[in-house]
Amino acid sequence: MHDISPPHPHRHRHRRPFGRAVSTLAAGLALLLAGCGGAAPSSDAPGGGQPTPVTFLNVIPIESLTYTPEIIAKASGHFAAEGLDVQFQVTRGSAQAIQTVIAGGAQITRVGDTEMMVATGERGAPVKAVAQPSQASTLRVLSSAERPVATPQDMRGKMIGIPSEGGTSETLVDTLATSAGLTDTDLSKQVVGLSPGVFDLVKQGRIDAYLVAMDASVVVKQQEPGAVVLDPAQFIAGGTQVYMTSQETLDDPTKRDVVQRYLRAIKAAMEQVIADEPLDETLELLGSEYDIPVLKQPEVAKETLRTYIASWQANEGALLETPADKWTAIYEEAVGVGQLPAGLDPSAWFTNELLPGASS
């Protein structure tokens, strides 16, 4: 395993702009994906004619409770009711998803807030966030009772495991550290992957804590009652997820309408899940579509889903809405860890105009 020294919390990371490289890649991706369900949407209205084909890019396999709104929207007919034929297509992470949306190979994707901000705020990518489905971080920091990391301050002198270098998880660790006034000399990071046995590294003392998705944290907590779980949302604004589309889509009334219909279906699916207590119908629907491992433990799945539901409603119950003040706070956190330069206008990077009930 390899130590990854954290960036200085106030050092800006200079990156090459999108420029010609992205234009070339975009053109190639458009050709590659032309036959993969990413066709330009038609103007068919819901309830009449042929459904409009839509490609949603998921950055991890769809077989996860993370994508409950998408799966339920399809299984319960919410997409069909909006006249949409939605296909899920996995990508190799957020960077590829963003580039594919720019290229026109897909209409919409879901990525981390800071990743989207860096793409548009620093690299000039023609994309915009159109909704915030997870309004609080759904990642967790796991540690043991012997060397607990219950607050960001507890990371001082600790070795923190991350799934990969340079991604959402590493940014989250940096942001938590900065919130506690820690610098690059106060903690270490080590790439440990995502295997189920990572908690064994904690018990062996090889690392002190590690980042993991909420689904996995609930399972580990069931297996290891003494595990300590840190919820980043208690300390920072970042770590949320956004639906993102291209500026070209927003500028085209027909394509824009497709994204609005997609978001209506997602909101209807969220409302359906929220109303389903004790979630038995939801678990049945999820299992009818995909083999999601955590569904083999129904009570664990329900506990996990309730936490996801809370993340959907973190902004005082306003589903999918992105509050301007919290968006600014996320930007300022990204500035603090060197992901973005100060002095930019983050309000230009998102819109609530496509949400159900909004005037556009």
Please write the tens of the pLDDT for every residue from 147-201: 999 999 999 999 999 988 877 889 899 999 999 999 989 999 999 987 778 999 9
What is the Cα–Cα distance from 172 to 177, expressed in whole angstroms?
A: 9
Predicted pLDDT at 357: 86
| Angle, in degrees to the nearest 10, between helices 280-289 and 68-75 | 80
Fold match, 19-136+239-349 / 138-234 = yes
Average pLDDT along the chain: 87
**Distance in angstroms between the alpha carbons of the first and the last residue of the chain:** 50
Predicted pLDDT at 165: 84
Please write the tens of the pLDDT for every residue from 105-136: 999 999 999 999 999 999 999 999 999 999 99
- Give the burial class of 140: count Cβ atoms within 10 A of its Cβ; 0-12 exposed, 13-18 middle, 19 or more buried: buried
How much is the pTM? 0.83
Give the helix/strand (H/E) hosting 101.
Answer: helix 94-103
Give the helix/strand (H/E) hosting 147.
Answer: none
**CATH number among 3.30.230.10, 1.10.580.10, 3.40.190.10, 1.10.3720.10, domain 138-234:** 3.40.190.10
Domain 19-136+239-349: CATH superfamily, name plus number: Periplasmic binding protein-like II (3.40.190.10)
Predicted pLDDT at 33: 36
Give the helix/strand (H/E) hosting 13.
Answer: none
What are the extents of the domains in the chain?
19-136+239-349, 138-234
Regions in the chain scoring below 50 on pLDDT: 1-44
Predicted pLDDT at 349: 98
